[in-house]
Amino acid sequence: MAYGFEAKNDSGKVIINDTIENLHFIGKATHTNSYPGYGNFPNYGGSNDALDGNTICYYNISCSGTPVAFIKPNDYSRWHGLIKQSVSGTTWTFHVMSSGTSTSNIPDLYCFVNADDVPTNSDTHGMIVFKSDGTTKTFDSRRQPLAITGGGSIVSPSDPTNSSGYPGTTNNASWQSSSNDHDFRSSNRYNTVADSAANTTNAMFSCPSLAQAVYSRVINGYKCSNHPYPQSGCQEHWSTAWWWVMYRAAFRLRSGNFDAGWTNYQAGYWYQEHYDSGGWFGSGSGGYTSGNRPYSDKTINLQNNAFIIADSSRYD
């Protein structure tokens, strides 16, 4: 080009030029509330009852631009994911999901916008790079530009459950079968990318993902027994036990690794039984405890996601 400015790092990658707008720190979003979610199946207490659990944390920040949020865990053993971002006027709201049901050690949310959307400050020295229009800033050293320390591309596994294979349906099981034989947790179901920038001290990440999944375990029971009146023949009995979980993609920072996995978002358990000569009966009969599953069993929106790692201590 005949004019302008461009800076590259030691790997030959462009970090500043007069075309691409860099992100700059505008502040931490304010935490407003946290809600613990499903740590097990509602109204079920049998085998494989445990889930990873979730806590949904709400944050907001006011700015005129569109912020990019970085999640800084305060408990690096938990999985995190940005599951919703919306705006009303100039107030942006974020919903961040963390694994586990504790509302302690919730993550911090660092927000970055284009240079023109950061309020001016009193600094009188620095470097500003403009686009060719002479007014739009692509970089302003006075406004804490984002310094990327790591990143890459990653995708969660298609099967979010710990047990091998998808849960599926069993027909003609014993009548009143209601013991779950599938582990719906996701603790050992993830992919990983090695990244030297990943640590459990000050690393934060941005990795937006729309990936979600729903899977069910259904056990249909049946029994044919002698009717009290022989001339009536066989008395048929039916039962259905149904466990389902909805998942959202979630991510984790480890020392030298960035992981992509899942955390349960919603869950339900349903049981019913009946026989052909009478009405509903039996303990545990009822319906879905948290509404119907939102769609049939499948994984959707699963694709490689770009992730960015940065050092949060630069902005404290």
* CB 85 within 8 Å of CB 97: no
Burial 44-57 (b: 16+ CB within 10 A, else e): beeebeebbbbbbb
| pLDDT tens digits, 257-315 | 999 999 999 999 988 887 765 444 443 333 333 457 889 999 999 999 999 999 999 99
pLDDT of residue 277: 55
Q: Which domain, by its residues, includes 44?
A: 6-146
The reply to whether 299 and 258 lie within a common domain is: yes
Q: Has residue 138 been placed in a domain?
A: yes
Q: Has residue 56 been placed in a domain?
A: yes
Of the three residues 146, 179, 197, the one that is the final residue of a domain is 146
Of the three residues 99, 130, 146, the one that is the final residue of a domain is 146
The reply to whether 166 and 264 lie within a common domain is: yes
The reply to whether 117 and 172 lie within a common domain is: no
Give the mean pLDDT per block of 10 residues along the chain (316 residues). 65 74 94 96 94 97 96 98 97 98 97 90 79 84 92 97 96 92 97 98 97 96 70 73 96 98 95 65 38 87 97 97
The reply to whether 127 and 262 lie within a common domain is: no
- Select from 192, 260, 246, 270 the least CA-distant residue to 52: 246
Q: Has residue 251 been placed in a domain?
A: yes
The reply to whether 91 and 116 lie within a common domain is: yes
| pLDDT tens digits, 242-271 | 999 999 999 999 999 999 999 999 999 988
Q: Has residue 249 been placed in a domain?
A: yes
Q: Has residue 123 been placed in a domain?
A: yes
The reply to whether 66 and 119 lie within a common domain is: yes
Of the three residues 146, 175, 193, the one that is the final residue of a domain is 146
The reply to whether 290 and 162 lie within a common domain is: yes
- Select from 74, 296, 52 the least CA-distant residue to 160: 52
The reply to whether 11 and 132 lie within a common domain is: yes
Q: Has residue 224 been placed in a domain?
A: yes
The reply to whether 96 and 161 lie within a common domain is: no
Q: Has residue 1 been placed in a domain?
A: no
Beta bridge partners of 95: 58, 84
Q: Has residue 236 been placed in a domain?
A: yes
The reply to whether 233 and 296 lie within a common domain is: yes
The reply to whether 76 and 206 lie within a common domain is: no
Q: Give the pTM.
A: 0.88
pLDDT of residue 189: 96
The reply to whether 70 and 212 lie within a common domain is: no
| Number of domains making up the chain | 2
